[in-house]
């Protein structure tokens, strides 16, 4: 039977070619916009496979709307807090994500935010363009040194470890908070595993790299921000709801911490209005993996996974391999 798949957003061509070669019908959302819930529920009906974005909620309601034929879902993202994996598994539907291929790009962006905050790059750019610059000054736009400062990594998975590796060039001591120890990170970067509160107290730069779960929602709130140094910078490139945005906006405006760099938000694309008013926060539109090379690799991985799972094979990026054990 010819396979019929739906792609919820146009992805780079290498991924679409793989799908066209591997499936009979490939329909792609023609608009450069997130589908509304109603559009998504209609679009998935009768499909064998679905290639979705991190913004699409994949739950029992959607699986009911898709119907009996749906055998595989590939998420075009490494994070999959948008997906009810246990519901997919219960229904025997394979599910994959895109680990590894976006690690370096996302680590680069975390560092770009860290540097932008430390040296007030975005604020200084706005000032240089404003016509208010009257010349060099010994006290203008003073930021913070980065070299030798303490970097705290909350979540030492692939991306957190890649951020820590980059710190070696800046001779920064690295602390990390993680459920399990990472001996390799300790050996290669001299990183020390500490409880979250200790990491927040001791770090000059804190970068968040944990997945969003019920346990990590609002991991960083008013209490945690109050533990940080008044000169500290917080960077978040993981998922917005890990940080209580209202508490962060207060902490940034009353000097509890010095600055923040955010690529993700609690209710994307909405950004908390109080953050929009502040100069000491750098705001990016969720571009952690947004390089041409990385997005193409993500497209290839997601498409290859979808085709493989539809053939009954279990690709390495499959999150619920148990689905394929009894096929």
Candidate segments 73-81, 107-115, 183-191, 192-200, binder of ligand DGY by CB under 6 A: 73-81
Q: Are 256 and 221 in contact (CB under 8 A)?
A: no
Closest CA to 151 of 137, 136, 161: 161
- Shortest distance, position 269 Cβ to ligand DGY, whole Å: 13
- Give the three-state DSSP class for 202: helix
The answer to the question of residue 240 lying near ligand DGY (CB under 6 A) is no
How many whole angstroms separate alpha carbon 296 and alpha carbon 12? 5
79 touches ligand DGY (CB under 6 A): yes
Per-residue binder mask for ligand DGY (CB under 6 A), 267-306, x = binder: ---------------------xx-----------------
Instruction: Write down the least CB distance from residue 79 to ligand DGY, Å.
Output: 3
Whether 108 and 162 have beta carbons less than 8 Å apart is answered as no
Measured between alpha carbons, how far is 203 from 150 in angstroms, rounded to an integer? 5
What stretches of the chain adopt beta strand conformation (E)?
4-7, 25-28, 49-52, 72-75, 94-96, 151-154, 174-177, 192-193, 205-208, 233-236, 259-262, 281-283
What the block records as the tokens of 213 is 């779960």
In this complex, which beta carbon is closest to ligand DGY, that of residue 55 or of residue 280? 55
Q: Which is nearer to ligand DGY, 150 or 219 (CB)?
A: 219
According to the binding rule CB under 6 A, does residue 12 interact with ligand DGY? no
Instruction: Give the span between the Cα atoms of 235 and 95, in whole angstroms.
Output: 30
Distance between CA 53 and CA 248 in Å, rounded?
A: 27
Q: What is the x/- site pattern for ligand DGY, positions 128-167, by CB under 6 A?
A: ----------------------------------------
Q: How far apart are CA 46 and CA 51, in angstroms?
A: 14
Based on CB atoms, which residue is closest to ligand DGY, 8 or 289? Answer: 289
- The least distance separating ligand DGY from the CB of residue 84, rounded to whole angstroms, comes to 16
* Between 227 and 302, CB nearer to ligand DGY: 302
Asked if 54 is part of the footprint of ligand DGY (rule: CB under 6 A), the reply reads yes
Select from 23, 78, 259, 309 the one that contacts ligand DGY (CB under 6 A).
Answer: 78
Preceding peptide of 269 cis, ω within 30° = yes
Piece of the chain touching ligand DGY by CB under 6 A; list 15-23, 36-44, 74-82, 177-185? 74-82
Q: Which residues pair with 262 in a beta bridge?
A: 236, 283
Catalytic positions: 239, 268, 286
Shortest reach from residue 106's CB to ligand DGY, in Å: 7
Q: Which of 3, 5, 19, 77 binds ligand DGY (CB under 6 A)?
A: 77
Give me the residues that bind ligand DGY (CB under 6 A), please: 54, 77-79, 102, 288-289
């Amino acid at each position: 039977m010819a396979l019929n798949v739906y792609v919820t957003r146009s992805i780079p061509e290498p991924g679409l070619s793989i799908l066209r070669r591997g499936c009979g019908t490939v329909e792609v959302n023609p608009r450069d916009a997130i589908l509304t819930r109603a559009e998504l529920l209609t679009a998935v009906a009768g499909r064998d496979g679905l290639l979705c974005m991190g913004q699409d909620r994949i739950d029992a309601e959607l699986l009911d709307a898709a119907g009996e034929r749906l055998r595989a879902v590939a998420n075009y993202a490494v994070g999959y807090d948008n997906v009810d994996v246990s519901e997919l598994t219960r229904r025997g539907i394979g599910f994959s994500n895109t680990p590894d291929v976006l690690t370096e790009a996302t680590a680069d962006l975390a560092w770009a935010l860290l540097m932008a905050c430390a040296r007030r790059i975005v604020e200084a750019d706005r000032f240089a363009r404003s016509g208010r610059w009257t010349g060099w000054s010994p006290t203008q736009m003073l930021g913070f040194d980065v070299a030798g400062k303490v970097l705290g990594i909350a979540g030492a998975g692939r991306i957190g470890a890649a951020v820590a590796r980059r710190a070696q060039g800046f001779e920064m001591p690295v602390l990390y908070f993680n459920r399990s120890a990472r001996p390799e990170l300790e050996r290669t970067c001299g990183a020390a595993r500490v409880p979250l509160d200790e990491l927040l107290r001791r770090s000059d730069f804190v970068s968040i790299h944990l997945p969003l779960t019920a346990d990590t929602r609002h991991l960083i709130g008013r209490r945690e921000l109050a533990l940080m140094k008044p000169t500290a910078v917080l960077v978040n490139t993981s998922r917005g709801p890990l940080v209580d945005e209202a508490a962060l906006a207060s902490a940034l405006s009353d000097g509890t911490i010095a600055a923040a760099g955010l690529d993700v938000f609690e209710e994307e694309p909405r950004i908390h209005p109080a953050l929009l008013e502040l100069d000491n926060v750098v705001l990016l539109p969720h571009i952690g993996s947004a390089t041409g090379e990385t997005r193409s690799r993500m497209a290839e991985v997601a498409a290859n996974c979808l085709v493989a799972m539809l053939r009954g094979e279990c690709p390495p990026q499959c999150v619920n391999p148990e689905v394929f054990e009894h096929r």
